[in-house]
Amino acid sequence: MNGKIPIGVSACLLGEQVRFDGGHKRFDFLCDDLAPYVDLQPICPEMAIGLPSPRPALRLIQQGNDISLVTSRDNTIDYTDKMQAFSAAKAPQLSQLSGFIVCAKSPSCGMERVSVYSPKGDSAQKLGVGLFTAQLMKTLPWLPVEENGRLNDPLLRENFIIRIFALRELNQLYASGLSKGALLAYHSRYKLLLLAHSQPEYRKIGPFVAAIDQMPIEAFFYAYRLQLMQLLAKPATRQNHTNVLQHIQGYFRRYLTATQRQALAELIDRYRLGTQPLLAPITLLKHYLAEYPDAYLSQQRYFDPYPEALRLRYGV
């Protein structure tokens, strides 16, 4: 997985002074921790449709069955058509990205729980999605999209990072030339990671991959990409991780002493109970993998789905 990962981002999260008040919402994790691994491509939809900074604040309002983007002080100043036109034109141009981080609560960029007001400006309900982000997710349904607020949650943060690295590897495979062998090898590398995210979806995607010969390779790629990213969007659970760890433990049973087997089983159980982070049993299993190599386990992305320097498994 060479090269930086192309990631779209709401420009204000990079510290760019593009917000309605002339300020920004710099996101430290993005700018400080993740930046070495990603190629950040900033977009401010509101500036892109010609609005200045500072500018009147915008809001979403409910008008019948439609959602409109207007200024907060005057509903007659309406930017809905401009934003929808920009979003519809821009979103298809972003298909090469491996993820997008948007600004929470924004009427253009928010991913969820954006306030939607009545035409009179009252009765706000947090049920909306920013117009640009709504179009982005509709046009590119496989693309990992998260917002800065949600990425403060360790589980959601790790889940997003797993997805962007997985999609980057899949996109690189596509760019290098599709083949049945390459796609099957990719899926094989991700089996244990997929199992940690959703056992029901893992059981569904397996037969689909096994039937790879039943459709043209490019059509298979697009369908597989969507299924894979929808599966990975389901955050891994402690119970699923425990099942995967116990499965991996079985590979080393014949090599370990009774004392070592007991210590490993107890460490996995302490992770299950929440008294140890995932990193603890993973580290011990990687130690045993180095000592007792196994071709199948050695290729599994489960052990290293992203750079260890991001330190994401300390909190999960």
Average pLDDT in the chain: 95
Look up the pTM and report it.
0.94
Please check whether residues 307 and 159 belong to one and the same domain: yes
Query: Does one domain contain both 286 and 197?
Result: yes
| CATH number of the domain where residue 148 is located | 3.40.50
Residues 41, 138: one domain? yes
Percent with pLDDT over 70 in the chain:
99
Position 73 in a domain: no
Same-domain status, 148 and 229: no
Instruction: Mark whether 170 and 210 lie in a shared domain.
Output: yes
Q: Taking each helix axis as running N to C, give the angle between helix 180-189 and helix 217-232, from 0 to 180 degrees, rounded to the nearest 10.
A: 10
Per-residue pLDDT averaged across 33-56, rounded? Answer: 96
Residue 61 lies in a domain: no
Pairing relation of β-strands 74-78 and 66-71?
antiparallel
Whole-angstrom distance, CA of residue 57 vs CA of residue 167:
35
On whether both 96 and 191 belong to a single domain, the answer is no
Domain shared by 142 and 220, yes or no? no
One domain, residues 98 and 213: no
Q: Which two tokens stand for residue 118?
A: 């009545």
Q: Render pLDDT for 192-218 as a digit per residue (tens, 0 to 9).
A: 999 999 999 999 999 999 999 999 999
With respect to residue 69, please indicate whether it lies within any of the assigned structural domains: no
Q: What is the pLDDT of residue 283?
A: 96
Within-domain flag for 217: yes
Q: How confident is the model at residue 1 (pLDDT cuts 50, 70, 90)?
A: very low
With beta carbons less than 8 A apart as the criterion, state whether 50 and 59 touch. no
21 falls within a domain: yes
What domain count does the chain have? Answer: 2
Q: Are residues 144 and 188 in the same domain?
A: no
Answer with the one of 136, 152, 168 that is the final residue of a domain.
152
Question: What is the separation of C-alpha 243 from the centre of its chain, rounded to a whole number of angstroms?
Answer: 23
Q: What pLDDT is attached to residue 224?
A: 98
Residue 62 falls inside a structural domain: no
63 within some domain: no
Q: Are residues 162 and 290 in the same domain?
A: yes
The average pLDDT across 132-160 equals 97
**In this predicted structure, what is the pLDDT of residue 2?**
55
**Per-residue confidence band for 127, with pLDDT thresholds at 50, 70 and 90:** confident
**Are 178 and 40 in the same domain?**
no
C-alpha 281/C-alpha 113 separation (Å) is: 37
Strands 58-63, 114-117: parallel, antiparallel or unpaired by DSSP? Answer: parallel
Output the six-digit token pair for 279.
């990193």
- Identify the domain containing residue 274 by its residue range: 154-316
Q: In the predicted model, is pLDDT for residue 64 greater than 70?
A: yes
Check whether residue 229 and residue 257 sit in a common domain: yes
Do the domain assignments include residue 272?
A: yes
pLDDT at 120: 82
